[in-house]
Structure formats: C-alpha cells, structure tokens
Amino acid sequence: MGRYDWIESYHQGHCSAAYRHFGAHPATHRGKEGWEFCVWAPKAKAVSVVGDFNNWDTTANTMKQRGEIWEGFIPDLKPYTAYKFSVIGADGEQRLKADPYGFHTETRPATASKLYHFKDFKWGDNAFLKKQEANPVYQAPLNIYEVHLGSWKLHENGDFIDYKDLARQLATYVKEMGYNAIELLPITEHPLDDSWGYQCTGYFAPTSRFGTPDDFKWFINHLHKKGISVILDWVPAHFCKDAQGLYEFDGSCCYEYTVPCMQEHAGWGTRIFDYGKPEVISFLLSSARFWLEEYHIDGLRVDAVASMLYLDYGREGEEWLPNIHGGRENLEAVAFLQKLNQMAFSINSNVLMIAEESTSWPLVSYPVDQGGLGFNLKWNMGWMNDMCHYLKLDPYFRQHHHKDITFSMMYAFSENFVLPMSHDEVVHMKGSVVGKMPGDYENQLRCLRGFYAYLLAHPGKKLMFMGPEVGQWNEWKSSGELDWHLLEKDLGKQTHQFFKDANAFYKKQKALWQIDFDWSGFEWIVADDNDNQVVVFARKDIAGKDLICAINFSPNVYSGYRFGCYAHKQYSLAFNTDSQLYGGDDVGQTPIVAVDHIPSHGKEQSIAVDIPAFGTVFFKGEGRLPKLRNKETTK
C-alpha cells in the first residue's frame, strides 16, 4: 500500500485509523530524525507548526498543502515538546489550534499539544481478555461502579492523584466492594474541570491531569490484571467552543454543521458534529478505535445519543431543518452510529457499546442487520427517572405512584438494558442518592439498602455512581472528594459492609444475571399491592432455579405477608437488607420458611414471610413439596 492510499478512504468516511497518519509522529527524513505533522484544514490559506522551539514564529516551520491536508517535517524535536498549529483561515485571521489528533497535551490552563511517542507498552492482561471473551455479557454479571477520577479521592492538599496510584487504590477498592467493572466519566482531554470531561478538546489524549498516556495504559492494565473491566464515557455528540479546539478550526465550520440553525446546542454552549461530512466520520471512528485498540478499553458508553438522533433535539419551532424525507430523524447520525458499532465489534466481539439514549427510539441495542443501531446495551433512563421520582415521595403518597416501580417491566426486554443510578442524578440540586430518601439519616440508609437490593434484583445490568456505598448524604461535587470520613462512623461502616455483601450476593446468584433480557428469567408474583407498597417477583437462572425477591417500599413492617411460590418443600432466607450487620433490626431473619398448601397469586402453594420496613428479602427454594393425598386438607 502506498504512503497516501489512506487519503481516499479518509475523504470517503471509511478511515477508522486516521490517527496513524494525522497528528505528530516520529520519522526520519534524509537521515535526520524528527517529527512528521499532518492536519486537515480544507479552507486554510496557510498552516504552520509553532511553539517555544521556534519562538511561535509562523514562518519558521510552514506546512505543505496536499489537497485539503497539510503536511510538514521538523527535525531534532524532543518528546513532550509543546506545539500548536497556526492556521490562517479563509478570512485571513490566525488561529492557534491544538492538534485534533494529538496524543498528549499540556495540563490546563495551558492548552498546547505535546509530542508523544508510543513505545512498546508491555501489556499483561491477556488472561483477562481471554476470560472476557469466554463470558459474554449477555449471560454474565455486570455491576458497574461509575467513577469521576478527579473527585473519587484526592491528596490531603487537594491535588489530583496520578493514574498509577489511582489504579492501585481503585482496583483494590472496587474488587473489595464486589464490582466487576468501572465506568469513567470522560478522561479525554478537556479544558474545564466543571464540565466533568463532557466538553472535550482532545479526542485522542487522556487528560494530563493525572499523568501521561503510558500512565493511563498502566492504569487500564492494572485494573485488567485485577479482573476489572474499564468502560470509557465517549462524547461524539458535540464539542466545546474553546479557541484551541475543533471550533471553526480553519476559519470555517470544519467539524461542525455549516447551517447556523443546526450547528449549536444552545443549552450546552457547544457545537454539533456534522455527520454528513465524511472526514468528520473518519475522525470519530478513529477516536473510538484508538481507545479500543491502543488502550484496551473494554467498552464505550456513548453520551447523549438522543441529541444525535433527532434534528429537533432541544429546538423549538423552525430552529431546525428536516431530513430529505421531511422527518426529524438525523439520518447521517444514524448511519454513523451503525458504522461505529459495526467497527467496534469487528475489533472486539465482546466489546461493550452502551448507548445513553433517553427516548423510545426502537432497536437501539439490536444489530445493524436487524435494523438496529448496533449497540449491545442501553441505559434505562425511564427506569432511572421513575425511581428517582418515587424515592423522593413521602411514603404516604407512594401508594398513588405504584407504577413507578412496576411500569419498567412493560418494556424491560425491548432492549438490553443497563439500570443506571448515574452522576446526573446526584448534582444540580437533585441531592445524593441517600438524600432522596425520606426521614432521618438512619431511615434514609434503611431505604438505600432496600432500593439497592431492588436494583440488583430487577432485570438488567447494573450501574451505580460512586458515593452511596459510604452513605454519602451530601450532593456530589466534582471539586472535592467523596466523604470518606463517613466510614469512621458506625452507620458508614455498616452501609459499606452492606454494599460489599449485596454485591457479593449478586455475583453469586446466577438467577440475578443469567437471563436479564427476556421473560424466561422473570415472573411477577405480587405486582399490584400498591396499598402496602410491596412487590414480589421471581428471578430464574438458565437451569430454572428460582430466587424470590420481596421488596417493601413502605415504613411498615409486614408480619406473615403471604404470596404464592413454587412447589418447593421450603424456602431459605438468602439475603436480608435489615440485618443488624447493616444497621437494621433483624426483621425477617427467619432462616427457613415452610411452604404451605395454600393457593395464592395464581400458585397452588404459598409462603408467609416477614418483610422489614423499607427492606428487601430474598429466598431460595429447597427440596420438592410433597403432593397432598386425597384425604388431606389444606392447612
């Protein structure tokens, strides 16, 4: 293949490895070692490479134009040298731009790219990757701990912890707590801490806040060796308007839409990628591939998918243009997402491609050849919204909103869902997860335990943002760290122990994850007891073994609550959120419950159990219930 054979593919929107050509790469020209530079700037009049090494002289290292692409070579530069592209636009104005394909950057508030050479990193995660390949997510446990690296933990003086120390501490903690995956809020380089990474300037650069690109590889490698998957939040929906970024890169709308009414999310203050430009598609495909291939990332959670799918997203009246069929669907974005997912699965058949999609768009987690978008998982935003609404209600009024905890089963198997309780629900005056609960702090923790058990029991994979496991009642702030001091108190220690035990229980019970995506793994037993605010259902594994979950969302203790069950001889208590170990009262701690020949809820037999206030109890069936002889009567 010739040196420039990739260019045609790039201009057609098919190049998913453009980072191998664009940006800055070490090279030798005419016996001199140096760096090759390459950038796409179709409307530029002139482009040069500038930095301290040439006193920011725009005439010292000019680049040659090859169609819409500019190239240059500079000898004798050292790794970590800071540089930018000086781009003279069609309007004659100079713009200093960071490298769109730069692998490393200065640390904010500085904004230049830095030369970085990927050496042969010695990965040690082969055993982990093979194990993942042998255990596809569809019939495996997935319990995700969502993390913002800048506020999980800090040094005592408030400084960030670097990637390697974060890896050591986080891997130990996550493994101890029983999660098997982490999801990172975007670590793609971003200028503003308060954006949490969702307004990116470096689509190929892990943020330098915590170290170098190789340090981040070490981070991932270490978590993999500890058996923990790493999912990265990735933002192809929009980009920030910071001067050094993609914004009007060559003086024209280069990466964004050209039509003014379509080029910006006014509510977010960001520009929107133009999915009709093949070069933009190549850029985004290459970014996704870069993280999956170069960094061994296990999955991408694609942010704000709904904003990509709808041309009228966040717009009113005539502030948008319909597609060629007169509809509101962004056909180019749909094609991009399908192409993205097909590419991702061609790289790693076990990759997690997760859509944050908040509408009823059909077949999000279905393969492209079945008419789907091609993701294999989708956040269940409806469930999250319903639960947040329900949890904040005074218990008296919950009886009138019972559908908040049952309606999700009307569509639970329409997609491959992840049940998230994400960072978005613990900011902007929404309060922490604990803070959503009614009553005093001790009662709030009781509610938290019952709710978390319900989350683990409900069909779908699991995600919880950091904080509830220490009993955090303050709303999350990205500028501090979690309230680790709560673990010095008994309630904090007990809550921490609960999350460890609940996660271990989830991982051990195949019924809670082997069949997450169809009705054969779930059966309602009590769905309509809104007066008592109780739901009871069974989860089943592939072998047909059942686990009964009884959940009480009320402040009342129910003694002898009867519901139908399967024809087992008895049921043993498998887990109780009201254990004294967790700060509870030991209500419902009866270890064995006999099955009675009393019909209930469509079953020929039933059990009567005690259900604690705001609590959840799990029961496992044992043995076979003897059939009644003709002369026997029911108890």
Q: Using CA atoms, how far apart are residues 222 and 345, in angstroms rounded to an integer?
A: 24
Q: How do residues 382-441 score in pLDDT, each as one tens digit? A: 999 999 999 999 999 999 999 999 999 999 999 999 999 999 999 988 899 999 999 999
Higher pLDDT among residues 232 and 5, named by residue: 232
Predicted TM-score (pTM) of the model is 0.95
pLDDT at 153: 97
Q: How confident is the model at residue 2 (pLDDT cuts 50, 70, 90)?
A: low
3-state secondary structure of 181: strand
1 in a structural domain: no
Q: Give how many domains the chain has, as a whole number.
A: 3
Q: What is the distance of C-alpha 379 from the center of its chain?
A: 8
Percent of the chain with pLDDT over 70: 98
CB 567 within 8 A of CB 624: yes
Q: How confident is the model at residue 1 (pLDDT cuts 50, 70, 90)?
A: very low
Last residue of a domain, one of 447, 481, 512: 512
CB 434 within 8 A of CB 468: yes
pLDDT at 610: 97
Domain that holds residue 34: 6-114
pLDDT at 622: 95
125 in a structural domain: no
pLDDT at 630: 62
pLDDT above 50 (res 94): yes
Looking at the annotation, which residues are catalytic? 303, 356
Instruction: Based on the fold, state whether residues 281 and 403 are members of the same structural domain.
Output: yes
DSSP label of 377: E
How many angstroms separate the most distant Cα atoms in the chain? 104
Q: How do residues 274-289 score in pLDDT, each as one tens digit? A: 999 999 999 999 999 9
* Mean pLDDT score across all residues of the chain: 96
Residues near 39 by Cβ (< 8 Å), separated by ≥ 6? 22, 23, 47, 63, 69, 70, 85, 99, 100, 101
174-177, long-range: CB within 8 Å, 24+ apart, which pairs? 174/145, 174/223, 174/226, 174/228, 175/226, 175/227, 175/228, 176/500, 177/145, 177/469, 177/499, 177/500, 177/503
pLDDT at 635: 43
Instruction: Based on the fold, state whether residues 33 and 87 are members of the same structural domain.
Output: yes
Instruction: Based on the fold, state whether residues 532 and 486 are members of the same structural domain.
Output: no
Instruction: Based on the fold, state whether residues 470 and 539 are members of the same structural domain.
Output: no
Angle, helices 331-347/278-294, rounded to nearest 10 degrees: 30
Instruction: Based on the fold, state whether residues 349 and 390 are members of the same structural domain.
Output: yes
Instruction: Based on the fold, state whether residues 193 and 212 are members of the same structural domain.
Output: yes
Q: In the structure encoding, which two tokens stand for residue 416, read together?
A: 């491959």
Residue at 68: amino acid letter: E
Instruction: Based on the fold, state whether residues 508 and 551 are members of the same structural domain.
Output: no
CB 210 within 8 A of CB 161: yes
Residue at 241: amino acid letter: K
Q: How do residues 118-171 score in pLDDT, each as one tens digit? A: 988 999 999 999 999 999 999 999 999 999 999 999 999 999 999 999 999 999
**Torsion angle of C-alpha atoms 447, 453, 454, 458, degrees rounded to 10:** 160
Instruction: Based on the fold, state whether residues 87 and 201 are members of the same structural domain.
Output: no
pLDDT above 50 (res 225): yes
pLDDT at 517: 98
Instruction: Based on the fold, state whether residues 369 and 428 are members of the same structural domain.
Output: yes
Q: In the structure encoding, which two tokens stand for residue 552, read together?
A: 């009480």
Across the strands, what pairs with 113? 83, 105
Instruction: Based on the fold, state whether residues 581 and 445 are members of the same structural domain.
Output: no
Count other C-beta atoms under 10 Å from residue 133's C-beta.
11
Q: How do residues 354-366 score in pLDDT, each as one tens digit? A: 999 999 999 999 9
Q: In the structure encoding, which two tokens stand for residue 287, read together?
A: 């970014």
Last residue of a domain, one of 456, 489, 512: 512
Across the strands, what pairs with 572? 592, 620
Q: Using CA atoms, how far apart are residues 464 and 203, in angstroms rounded to an integer?
A: 26
475 in a structural domain: yes
Q: How do residues 171-187 score in pLDDT, each as one tens digit? A: 999 999 999 999 999 99
Across the strands, what pairs with 38? 23, 71
268 in a structural domain: yes
CB 225 within 8 A of CB 235: no
Q: What is the distance of C-alpha 615 from the center of its chain?
A: 28
Q: How do residues 501-550 score in pLDDT, each as one tens digit? A: 999 999 999 999 999 999 999 999 999 999 999 999 999 999 999 999 99
Q: Which helix (H) or strand (E) holds 472?
A: none
CB 365 within 8 A of CB 340: no
Q: Which helix (H) or strand (E) holds 168?
A: helix 163-177
43 in a structural domain: yes
Which of 414, 352, 346, 348 has its CA nearest to residue 383? 414
Q: Using CA atoms, how far apart are residues 610 and 561, in angstroms rounded to an integer?
A: 6
Instruction: Based on the fold, state whether residues 272 and 335 are members of the same structural domain.
Output: yes
Instruction: Based on the fold, state whether residues 423 and 500 are members of the same structural domain.
Output: yes
Q: Using CA atoms, how far apart are residues 572 and 574, in angstroms rounded to an integer?
A: 6
361-367, long-range: CB within 8 Å, 24+ apart, which pairs? 361/306, 361/309, 362/414, 363/415, 364/305, 364/415, 365/415, 365/416, 365/417, 366/415
CATH number for position 64? 2.60.40.10
Count other C-beta atoms under 10 Å from residue 310's C-beta.
18
121 in a structural domain: no
568 in a structural domain: yes
Query: Mind giving me the DSSP string for 524-562?
Result: EEEEEETTTTEEEEEEE-TT--EEEEEEE-SSS-EEEEE
Q: Using CA atoms, how far apart are residues 505 and 352, in angstroms rounded to an integer?
A: 24
Last residue of a domain, one of 447, 479, 512: 512
Which of 297, 301, 139 has its CA nearest to residue 228? 297
Residue at 105: amino acid letter: T
339-342, long-range: CB within 8 Å, 24+ apart, which pairs? 339/13, 339/281, 339/285, 340/236, 340/284, 340/285, 340/288, 340/302, 340/374, 341/368, 341/373, 341/374, 341/375, 341/376, 342/368, 342/374
Q: How do residues 46-86 score in pLDDT, each as one tens digit? A: 999 999 999 999 999 999 999 999 999 999 999 999 999 99
243-258 exposure pattern, b = at least 16 Cβ within 10 A, e = fewer? ebbbbbbbbbbbbbbe
Residues near 162 by Cβ (< 8 Å), separated by ≥ 6? 210, 211, 215
85 in a structural domain: yes
CATH number for position 340? 3.20.20.80
Mean pLDDT of 292-300: 98
CATH number for position 553? 2.60.40.1180
CB 239 within 8 A of CB 200: yes
pLDDT at 120: 86
